[in-house]
Amino acid sequence: MILSQQQLTLLLNAFYELGEQTITVKHPSSEIGELFRIDLADPASSTVSVTTGAASYEERLEVMERKYGSQLRDELPNRPAYVKSFVASGLADIRNRDEVDKIINRYGYQDLQAGHPPRYAGFDTNLLPWRMHDTLSVDPEHYSDEAGRTPVNGYTLPAGVDEELRISYRYGKNAMEAEQLAAVLGSEFERLTGQPTQDNRETRLGLREYRRLRETRPHDIVASERGDKAIIDGCMEYYQDEPTGVILFSNDYGFIDEARDRKIPAVHVDFDVDVRQKLTGTWEQIATLLYVFAITFGVVILPKVTLYGVWESKSVQHWRREQLDIDARSAKIESLLNRDKPIIEAYRDIR
């Protein structure tokens, strides 16, 4: 069964209906094992227990590399990506929240009715996979102050970032065949034939975010080549004759230094080296976490259900619609999903 990221709350509801309120999320390989555990309660407030912290996860990566080589390790998310996945869900926060908020408060929240020029947010390539418009609480569709002013008024989308995100290949000189992955990580990985490698799956997440912002939010497409300097130069040239301003965000200090040297407001987005053991959030945030983990790992296993982030016939449309392939190993789970999915889809169609 194909479910979108937004429809994954149906899966959580099915578990809840069956009285299975504790859900373990595991990697198919026993050498990696359990990643986190969901304790379903109120849809507005449930708990995620991070049973494998980032330090422990990295130790397992090192063991895998010693046993099977660097090629295999490259097919698994690295430690920073592991932490960023929790941040992307909204269950964990960035490390320098106060610094980021200070910059946004200083340059954002423009009073357009008073004649202030709009201010747009621009994200470096390294941040786009991690849902920064939501993570940083800047999206004008969802965040505003008491006066109705939004943190930013839209987004700056450099063409160079788009180009960097569109570089995605399944097979390269360092890629492992799906059969080799299956031999080490589990038979589930046989279904990854022809699909993007791990780093390229992260890139696909970023590409989807770039296109979501382009399709649904006010934006400027800024002409630029690839590379930090070219992207910053493009923003500088575009806005020097425009009333609109930009705030740039990056996880790269070099990018930030370059932007500030050009007098462009910019802030480094910093991530913790680990996440707290107990996280609390909504079912929607937990669904996002499941989606991001399924994509970055390729496959994750829940009780009675296997979530495939990629599979042999995954198409461009599946990526665009943010869909996973759900292998329900339980007839009861499958029945509940078959019951509820048409209701959600009908509601979506009439909105």
Task: Supply the pLDDT for residue 22.
Answer: 97
Please identify which residue in the block is written with the tokens 């292998």: 327
196 inside domain: no
- Shared domain for 230 and 135, answered yes or no, is yes
Please identify which residue in the block is written with the tokens 């960035």: 94
Q: Which of 215, 238, 268 is the last residue of a domain?
A: 268
Where in the sequence is the domain holding 24, given as residue range(s)?
A: 2-92+274-350
- Shared domain for 230 and 119, answered yes or no, is yes
Task: Supply the pLDDT for residue 105.
Answer: 96
- Shared domain for 278 and 342, answered yes or no, is yes
- Shared domain for 83 and 118, answered yes or no, is no
Task: Supply the pLDDT for residue 194.
Answer: 87
The per-residue DSSP string of 196-221 comes to PPHHHHHHHHHHHHHHHHHHHS-EEE
Look up the CATH number of the domain holding residue 112. 3.40.50.1010
| 324 in Cβ contact with 299 (< 8 Å) | no
- Shared domain for 263 and 281, answered yes or no, is no
Residue 184, CA distances (Å) to 144, 177, 187, 202 in order: 49, 11, 8, 22
How large is the angle between the packed helices 331-350 and 8-17, nearest 10 degrees?
Answer: 130
What pTM was computed for the model?
Answer: 0.94
- Shared domain for 55 and 132, answered yes or no, is no
- Shared domain for 134 and 19, answered yes or no, is no
Displacement of CA 139 from its chain's centroid (Å): 15
- Shared domain for 140 and 28, answered yes or no, is no
Q: For 185, list phi and psi in degrees, rounded to 5.
A: -95, -20
Please identify which residue in the block is written with the tokens 């943190």: 151
- Shared domain for 317 and 344, answered yes or no, is yes
Q: What is the DSSP letter of 175?
A: P
- Shared domain for 120 and 263, answered yes or no, is yes
264 inside domain: yes
User: Low-confidence residues of the chain, pLDDT below 50?
Assistant: 171, 350-351
Task: Supply the pLDDT for residue 344.
Answer: 73
d(CA 39, CA 48): 6
| Number of structural domains in the chain | 2
- Shared domain for 263 and 214, answered yes or no, is yes
Half-sphere exposure of 331 (CA within 13 A, CB side): 0
d(CA 145, CA 85): 28
174: tokens are: 């360092």
Residue 213 amino acid letter? L
Residue 12 amino acid letter? L
54: tokens are: 């980032």
Task: Supply the pLDDT for residue 173.
Answer: 58
Task: Supply the pLDDT for residue 341.
Answer: 86
Residue 260, CA distances (Å) to 6, 125, 126, 253, 255 in order: 38, 18, 18, 10, 9
